[in-house]
Chains A and B, each alone.
Chain A
Amino acid sequence: MTATFVGMPAFPTAARAALADTQLRANLAHATSTIRAKRAHVVAEVDDWEELRLAGAAIKDNTLLHLDEHLLRLEESLTAAGATVHWARDAGEAGRVVAEVARAHGVDEVVKVKSMATAEIDLNEHLAQEGIAAWETDLAELIVQLGEDLPSHILVPAIHRNRAEIRQIFLDHMAGAGRAAPADLTDEPARLAEAARLHLREKFLRAKVGVSGANFAVADSGTLVVVESEGNGRMCLTLPEVLVSVVGIEKVVPTWSDLDVFLQLLPRSSTGERMNPYTSTWSGVTPGDGPQEVHVVLLDNGRTRALADEVGRQALRCIRCSACLNVCPVYERTGGHAYGSVYPGPIGAILNPLLRGPGHDAQTDSLPYASSLCGACFEVCPVRIDIPSVLVDLRAQVVDAHRASGSRVPKPEALAMKAASLAFSSGSRLGAAERASGLVGRLLGLGRNRRTLPGGRGLLSRLPGPGARWTDARDLPQPPAESFRAWWKRTSGGRS
């Protein structure tokens, strides 16, 4: 039961399909507006929110500046605390480490804490190929896994599902994965949660190996931190004998006191709570308490590539709160699947191209364009990632990558930009272009349309060629008989 984003179409195509799904639109509009309001409310309570954002950004930037030193310090502290540290360049290396640990203990299943890093590297699929079942224990991840679905949100991966759909998924699929859902299951949230709890409890008590990510990794104490709401994470982190944590190298913070800033920023930005219900911290192995074998896999998988990007490296500050998704007008309408990655929304539109590199594939190259550059994401980001500026920079990188590779730039667009560049290089040249296009525009309007815009101006309701992408749904004013520039010249700026 694996689903994959591999082979997803580019954003505009995937978005078109998503926009036609009325259930998805309704579920998302409801969920994002609820969480937006909650976030706005709890952020407004904090007088020094802006200072906290600045502090969060500064801590992350300083850490990234000396990332090598902090990572070595982290390795040293973890090792001293009894953990085994592994370095993974990519998804394949990380997957092999986890599979080897599982095999060494002779298990055919692991229980998982919700983790973006393991989702990013398709760890479950990798383990499945090795004959190891990876059970998701976060409620939303469980819904996605049972439904053989794909995640569509960083925090709430099943945000595209409503409770009626969830009930059906539980009834249809729980039995195949363990304890069945009760036959009289309703779609009341408490009943759904109870079914999930009973189903998962068997797995928590049975599993010998737990797999997690980490929200933060404290270098000086060798402490990993998991922030969660449901308590499933605490179960996975404490009950199994063996724990493997896959941690992106950008998750390191220098000292324990740095957590102070992030544990204020994250819950309010993420779930709209003042504090999350469960914060688990562990430093290696504690004899007689919790897992007695602890592994930490430090994952690169494109992060050093992103770090080398002068404009884009700020994306590595991201603490995966998903506030940018919840305020994004594009995400709210298309949902997460259209982005073709476990990282959807505005942060996904920059993070995926930064991790993979512009020119990697057409789907990734479409992501920086999946934004109207409205800036709502930057406004809410708790670590002040200027997503619009990174998007604009990545667009230039996409165009440059295509320029360098020869003919792969969409020809009409590149030609149009060159033509516009030429016309816009001189006022008189632009005047001539305006006279020509105005004439064409008025000719297109002739005899086609007697309707006018409110206010009396003539309109065009159908343009040929690529212009149809505008006029399919939007009228357009007919070009005026005289441009502003021509009027100014003719009347000496309205004086004659």
Chain B
Amino acid sequence: MAERKSLIKFKPKKYKNGEIVKVNFMVMHPMETGMRKDKKTGKLVPADYISEVKFFFDDKPFTTMQVWESVSTNPVFTINFKVPGEGTLKVVYKTNTGEVQEKTKKVKPKG
């Protein structure tokens, strides 16, 4: 896995202009709290977690999340989004260690 795995899903899968859809964003990430001991070495595993998630539609931000290490490993985030038309949804997320990744999905309303 070169790039971190993530998924964007809409519910419902088929939606109209102006409809409010659920946007689910999930990503494979350990969300280490910095309080866990490595079983083999006995040392504390350093904190490594997603600290920010930003949602954009056609490059305009509409939801920003500040995320803490208390969120579960392989986190799933769900918000609402009122479909304004055809365009691109982009999710940019950052970790406390300075990693930055992004994922996009086309928004294609039918009718």
Chains A and B come from one and the same complex: no
- List the interface of chain B (C-beta within 8 A of A): none
- List the interface of chain A (C-beta within 8 A of B): none
